[in-house]
Amino acid sequence: MSLANNIYDTSTLLGTMRHMEPPSNYWLGLGFPSTIQFDTEEIDFSKLQENRKIAPLVVPTAQGVPIYSAAEERGSVRPAYVKPKDAVSASRVIRRAAGFGELNSSVAMSPQQRYQAIVADILRQHREAIERRWEWMAAEATLYGQVTLEDDNYPKKVVDFQRAAGHSVTLSGGTLWGASGVSILSNVEAWKKTMRRAKHGGVSNRLTVGTDAWEVMREDTEIRDLIKTDYRPSQQGGLDLNFGVMEGMEVEYVGKLSGTTDVYVYSDYYEQADGTVTDFMSPKDVVLTSPSMAGIRCFGAIQDVQAGFQPLAIFPKMWNQEDPSATFVMSQSAPLMVPLNPNATFRARVVA
């Protein structure tokens, strides 16, 4: 049976990607709900912050007093580029494959079926790897107020979103969580107040806790005593945390600090190119976030003639190579996750 070496167009490849289950993306889902695609190499963003002036007092016959003013801040950055590429080699198509359940089946796939399955599997891996990079960018922007772009084939560049320096703190010595006299709840309350009053800040509604920080938090005497004596339902402002056995998932909901502040324990990770396992967020940290962060998933134009330099989140393509014979699948993306209101986040390292 001959093999039809189909070179699928971008629309077909994108359709295949869209039907795949996306990976779990905590930080993207938490603070980056919107998408903007640019038809330029650079990503431009701006923000408009209203003032908090009180209306001036005048007598009825006096002229009105103008109070409107708003400062517009603009920024522009050239995003990093990602372009994973893999080959559908002749040897992969000819031999039976374990990854598609073929070895456990009495009926072998045809070379054509195996070819299509391999193309789809490459697209799936590309999408997951690219979205994992998006997730990393979203985590960096949320945790640190900046994204440091650096790789073997990319010179170091720091994209600084100008978060206030006071929105990143490191406790030490007698101020660490678990130390005598330290009130975790007072810490969180003070940090929430800092966020609320900051320019481009907001009212926090979630506390994300690293696993090491959670181990200390769940043993805190003040919190445990309050839970014993606070009988208000959590939706009415009561303290409600589950100190039971963790399920071991990357993200686990454990309750509320108040009627409006959810608490999640976080331990997700990714693998670097050399196989090193790295945490998205340090287990020693906690981070407060607000919907006011208004994060945007930004994408620059794809720098590929076949893409027509159009703004796409992911641009997949295929082509043949004659010698050695192979078909290549490549996916390209020019992403940057931008928090329009970076002060609507607050990170603290709370355990040593």
pLDDT tens across 227-277, in order? Answer: 877 655 555 556 888 888 888 899 999 999 887 899 999 999 998 888 899
**What is the Cα–Cα distance from 291 to 203, expressed in whole angstroms?**
8
> What single-letter amino acid sits at 249?
M
**What is the Cα–Cα distance from 347 to 30, expressed in whole angstroms?**
15
Interval 268-314: pLDDT, tens? 999 888 889 999 999 999 999 999 999 999 998 888 888 887 778 99
Per DSSP (E only), the strands in 58-134 are 70-77, 85-89
CB-based contact 139:270 (threshold 8 Å): no
Predicted confidence at residue 174, as pLDDT, reads 96
Domains and CATH numbers, the chain: 10-41+78-159+295-339 (3.15.30.10), 165-293+342-349 (3.30.1930.10)
Predicted confidence at residue 177, as pLDDT, reads 98
Question: Which residues neighbour 192 within 8 Å (Cβ) at sequence distance 6 or greater?
Answer: 203, 204, 261, 288, 346
Nearest by Cα to 307 from 5, 13, 1, 3: 13
HSE value, Cβ hemisphere, 13 Å, CA-based, for 317: 14
Interval 62-118: pLDDT, tens? 666 565 554 455 667 778 889 999 988 766 665 555 455 554 455 667 778 888 888
Please provide residue 343's backbone torsions phi and psi, each rounded to the nearest 5 degrees: -75, 5
Residues paired with residue 299 on neighbouring β-strands, in sequence order: 37, 335
- pTM score: 0.84
Taking CA atoms, 255 is separated from 264, 281, 324, in Å, by 7, 20, 57
Predicted confidence at residue 70, as pLDDT, reads 47
| Most confident of the following: 221-235, 245-259, 312-326, 334-348 | 334-348
CB-based contact 349:172 (threshold 8 Å): no
